[in-house]
Amino acid sequence: MTYKRIHNFNAGPAALPIEVLEEIKTDLIDYKGNGLSVLEMSHRSKAYDEIIKNAEKDMRELLGIPDNYTVMFLQGGATLQFAMVPLNLLPDNKPADYINTGTWSTKAIEEAQKLGKTPRVIASSEDKEFTYIPKNFTINKDSAYLHITSNNTIRGTEWQSFPETNGIDLVCDMSSDFCSRPVDVKKFALIYAGAQKNVGPAGATVVIIRNDLLERSPKNIPTMCNYKIMAKEPSLYNTPPAFTIYVIGLVMKYLKKIGGLEKMYEMNKAKAKILYDRLDKNDFYRGTVEKDSRSLMNIPFRLKNEQLEEKFLKEAKAAGMEGLKGHRSVGGVRASLYNAVPKESVQALVNFMDEFEKKNS
Ligand code: PMP
């Protein structure tokens, strides 16, 4: 069946694979002969047990998550993880190191400060408006962990490789590039990611935690913020975001079907190249981040004549391209090219950019 679909460049919630949407549609009224939808079923039912177990199993397979890690689907967004990480991992008020690469890292640092913890910023790219990933930094030996943000959704920078921490636990906010490329999970002590960019709709945050860290969770923190309690019966201490987890499961199945994360990564590199090549062609458009820090997921750019940006966005929208306005804190244009954004959409954007240049230069 064909649908009228926009070119979806939203930063999150964002595009989902059409195959996944089709499957949701098929399942919606009567989930596989159960006579009810996933929206209506008990999270303790046999049918749901299978859904959540398969979502976890497929995620483990895709990412190669070792057995000594627990996978949880929690609520409160990645934003709650800014607090849960220090609440659970710094019970004795040991200091922790943070690298500040933009708005979301800044929020993670502020949240740790609010809780009376000691986040130490060992590197920051604020001096150049967060347009690069810092390279030179020394991790303190007494640090409980190093916190980084793998992809900076607003500024469009991404860690190309992850830092060597020499035994210090690495904690990573992977919200906006989770499952967009393979990662070596055992390099991380904890990974968290809001679902709503690459792996599903809003409502669940994936937390992958190495089991020994669970022993650090103090007893006197709220139950819903306690990793140890949440991990005991993963994601089922209380009612989980059931429908979101179901969709995450479908996305995992889809990613496996297309060839896994290596394949997804190849596709993402090819898509981003189309747009970066266009930005590098001449100076009518200008990418805003340093080349060796460029994100495959979020690509911000400006027009040489910034006065034309409003017109650009208006005409792009009229041509069926949505979500291109830069984040309200930085302005300009930003195209988010998450997993489910097809190559054809990126090509359509570049064609539109060429046309717009011709008419306006
Ligand atoms: N971290 C990053 C990198 C993000 O992009 C976002 C949301 N855009 C957040 C954290 C906050 O996520 P949530 O809205 O799920 O709390």
**Spatial contact of 285 and 278, defined as CB atoms under 8 Å apart:** yes
Whether the predicted pLDDT of 1 surpasses 80: no
For 103-109, what is the mean pLDDT?
A: 98
Please give the Cα distance from 271 to 361 (Å, whole number). 26
Considering the candidates 58, 97, 169, 173, report the single residue annotated as catalytic.
173
Whether the predicted pLDDT of 335 surpasses 90: yes
Please give the Cα distance from 357 to 39 (Å, whole number). 47
Nearest atom in ligand 1 to 149's CA: 3
For the CA atoms of 125, 126, 130, 133, what is the dihedral angle to 10 degrees? 10
Whether the CB of 153 sits within 6 Å of ligand 1: yes
Reply yes or no on whether 159 is catalytic: no
Q: How far is ligand 1, taken at its centre, from the CA of residue 181, in Å?
A: 18
**Beta-carbon neighbour count of residue 344 at 10 Å?**
10
Instruction: Give the C-alpha distances (Å, rounded to integers) separating 147 from 89, 109, 134, 137, 287.
Output: 11, 9, 13, 13, 27
The whole-chain average pLDDT of the chain stands at 97
pLDDT at 93: 83
Reply yes or no on whether 104 is catalytic: yes
Please give the Cα distance from 136 to 122 (Å, whole number). 9
Instruction: Give the C-alpha distances (Å, rounded to integers) separating 330 from 11, 253, 349.
Output: 14, 36, 21
Which residues lie across from 191 on neighbouring strands? 172, 208
Residues of the chain with pLDDT > 70, as a percent, come to 100
For 193-210, what is the mean pLDDT?
A: 98
Whether the CB of 78 sits within 6 Å of ligand 1: yes
Whether the CB of 175 sits within 6 Å of ligand 1: yes
**Spatial contact of 216 and 204, defined as CB atoms under 8 Å apart:** no
Please give the Cα distance from 95 to 21 (Å, whole number). 44
**Beta-carbon neighbour count of residue 284 at 10 Å?**
18
- Render pLDDT for 84-96 as a digit per residue (tens, 0 to 9): 999 999 988 899 9
Whether the CB of 173 sits within 6 Å of ligand 1: yes
Nearest CA to ligand 1 atom 5: 153
Kind plus residue range of the DSSP H or E element containing 287: strand 285-287
Whether the CB of 309 sits within 6 Å of ligand 1: no
pLDDT at 2: 80
